[in-house]
Chain A
Amino acid sequence: MSGKLNFKLRLWRQKDKVSEGKFQEVEAKNISPDMSFLEMLDEVNNDLMRKGEEPVAFESDCREGICGTCSLVVNGLPHGPEKGTTVCQLFMRKFRDGQTISVEPWRAAAFPVIKDLVTDRDAFDQIIAAGGFVSVNTGGAQDANALPVRKCDADTAMDAAACIGCGACVAACPNASAMLFTAAKISHLGHLPQGQPERERRALRMVAKMDELGFGNCSNHYECEAACPKEISVEHIARMNRDYGLSALLGTERERGNTGAG
């Protein structure tokens, strides 16, 4: 059995949206190498509470890499140093004993910090509400195979649908742009027959919403793709650009000017 590990943590502490934050240095002692990063933080919080201090706030839910709730920048990398891994699935054996680890929240104008390591990612919900859905009339559920989908389209749609909406793409982007997220959603539905009727409207409205919410402009650094825990490709961004350009200039969508509300 491998021995226990110790770390020096620099945790971002911030009281609320308006206060200035700063780093707090905390020791993490006797950490099992098999703990996940979040379990390590749980231990640190237990220690803090035992000492009567306030635990550090951070978000998590599934802790198995599928919900996109966890959102920590570890040593300057969203979700930490591992490729294709959420921070809840990052294990402490990936760090050196005695290493100093800085932990910060996502930082982007559109993702304000609420407290410590927790940010408000409501902007993503707003982008989805602007068009990231298919409208379905109520009624009996359709037969599962009533709409044939080519295997290659199903695969590409699935690659895009792997997006868990965590926001690491925005956090990693030097311009805090939300292009990869938005593109993944547009591409996911755009590859399926159910997504076709609203395809133009979806591209126009979601891009307009994204611009409105104060995300930066993509300048093709591809940090997003590298940081994405689901390794979603920037090809989807190209596809969105194509969809958007064609819909805006040649599209027949009547409400194209009315890109505000969902």
Chain B
Amino acid sequence: MNIVVLVKQVPDTESPRKLKSDDSTLDRAAADGVINELDEYAIEEALKIKEAHGGEVTVLTMGPAKATDSIRKALAMGADKAVHLVDDGLAGSDALQTSYAIQQALGRTGFDIVILGSESTDARTGVLAAMLSERLGVPQITLANKVEIDGSAIKAQRVTDYGYDRVEATLPAVVSVVEKINEPRYPSFKGIMAAKKKPVETLGLGDAGIDAAQVGLANAATEVVDFADAPARAQGQIVTDEGDGGAKIAEFLASKKFV
């Protein structure tokens, strides 16, 4: 089975995240880059599918040169090889353009299943799975918390507000995962050493057959017009329990329309 897992490098949520004042894009140099949290679950699921059904796991990352750190970690966890889509022309791409670029790269890797996180921690649009499935013309299963593969059939549970849906599709397909799906493994030092010998293919726009006029900040369909710091969190309201604590909490929840 040809399993491709999409891995995005994002700024560590522990370090302060900033947008640049000149072009309103994320200041990726200012923060440590880490694997987008949900993508670790995607990697784990890809490895599990490989362990159960055989095949190969390819990591596909679009991002600047320093994203190689994240690629190395994914390989250390056990992925077999990686494709790194890196080109200055891609900088500032929006979700539509990103999905186009990844589609082109997938044209080179081929795939039976594409696994990705359901959302990134930096941009959080959560649209990539849908955009990719549309562009690739294959089924999408989003927000999966359980995946089973049986021949060319894929069965999954996707989380919803009311519980979960059971859905089925045929491969090839695009699957986005949530954190309930598994417990990602840690790399091991052996994995780190093995990763050094695994192939990482670097693709520029031309290599991937990406039209430069369709990607990058200047050609984006969306534009960040303005941004502001998140307001400082106001101090919480403290309710002293004078025998009527329960009622006061219920009152508060009702006033916020939570109940």
Pairing of A with B: no
Question: B interface vs A, CB < 8 Å?
Answer: none
